Amino acid sequence: MTGCRRFGSAARLCAVLALLAAMARAEEPGDFAEILERTSAAQREALTQPAIPELVPPLRDEDLDFARRLLGDVTASTRITAPLSADDPIAPTQRVFWFVSFSMPAPELRAILEEAASHADVRVVFQGVRPGGTIGAFARELRTLAGGIDPVPEVGIDPPLFRKYAVHAVPEILLEDGTVHRARGSIALDDFEDRVADAPQITDLGRFGPTYDILEPDLITVMQARLAALDVEELEHRAAENYWTRTAQFVELPNAGQDAERAVSTSFEVTRDISAPDGTSIARAGEVIDLARIVPLSKWYVVFDATDAAQRAFAHEWIARADAAGCGVSLITTRLDRARGWDGLTELQDELGLPVSLLREDLVDRFHLRAVPSILRRDEGRLVVQEYALD
């Protein structure tokens, strides 16, 4: 597993992010392995396909920070929500929580949803999904139960709230206004709020009718148990093994029929004035800026078909030329031997003495690549693509 070892902790970080995200949205438990496989493969593809750094911006640290924040949100105490409508996000500040479960009779649960729908400050919360169930099945059951309710009530899955307020039976309604007021059983919201207003010193208003055990296990506990049961190393290994046969996509180009050279424009026109925060003008509307002059291309890029022996020899030749010219060189191939997989990639890199990445569609479009082998480099102040016919 030479290829797998090359990625180390970066792939594992990606795997953990994928697992936790998958646990929140997977339709079936078996989906976790599939999602991890897709995500790990995508991570490997990104790592084996470096962008041309001078003209194609790399992934920013902010992107990874966002992923870390997302990971922290899911595993700490942030709500995992399942709103009935994607257009109705749950409000960030709520004072009234109505704790419920599908263990309750359907008419009683629907009545709570109807009442909550008419109060913008009320949020209906579940502890999780049915045992062995999924978020998708939960959302579908909820939509069916709440069909026709307008406006849509705010509904979420929020295990930390159940823990915070030690809710062990439902329904329970709770109002927090500096003091926590609560009541259990079937009580109308208006009646509850009137009782709180009449006796604000009372925190536990008691029980009004039957309550029910909570059917759904704590979703975060379920997620943690599933994560602990998964063999991440094995899933990562399987994802790497399947990458070349199931995931890798080659952007193939025809062999060059004749030698050709053309300049590639890296200029763009500014469409509006751009100023720094202190008001200093950076660029004016209508101004034409050449990125290649601002950030010169420092390497030569060899684009070739690694399955063609003649083109591998061409790559060898241009590595030597770049070295003699004191330039760095990056190797980009249009395809590899799928059957050889990671071992084939490793052998190719050992043969050429440099890393080899896969050609991406965005590079073809950005630099108007048409045939292989090609060289992308600066020549006399211009950015040029040079195509070579080897026959």
Q: What is the pLDDT of residues 142-163, one digit of tens each?
A: 999 998 998 889 999 999 999 9
Name the least confident of 206-210, 217-221, 276-280, 324-328: 276-280
Interval 316-347: pLDDT, tens: 999 999 999 999 999 999 999 998 888 899 99
Let me know if residue 85 belongs to a domain: no
Residue pair 300/329 in contact (Cβ under 8 Å)? The answer is yes
Let me know if residue 312 belongs to a domain: yes
Give the structural domain span for 130.
Answer: 96-220
Name the least confident of 85-89, 215-219, 223-227: 85-89
Q: How many domains does the chain have?
A: 3
Among candidate residues 389, 9, 39, 27, the one with its CA nearest the CA of residue 235: 39
Interval 35-83: pLDDT, tens: 444 444 444 444 344 444 444 333 344 444 444 443 343 333 333 333 3
Whether residues 216 and 235 share a domain: the answer is: no
Helix axes 31-47, 232-242, angle to 10 degrees: 60
Residue pair 13/47 in contact (Cβ under 8 Å)? The answer is no
Whether residues 73 and 127 share a domain: the answer is: no
State the average pLDDT for the chain. 77
Whether residues 206 and 283 share a domain: the answer is: no
Whether residues 100 and 202 share a domain: the answer is: yes
Helix axes 8-25, 61-75, angle to 10 degrees: 50
H helix or E strand, kind and range, residue 222: helix 219-229
Whether residues 102 and 72 share a domain: the answer is: no
Whether residues 280 and 335 share a domain: the answer is: yes
Whether residues 106 and 215 share a domain: the answer is: yes
Query: What is the predicted pLDDT for the residue at 296?
Result: 64
The amino acid present at 272, given as its one-letter code, is R
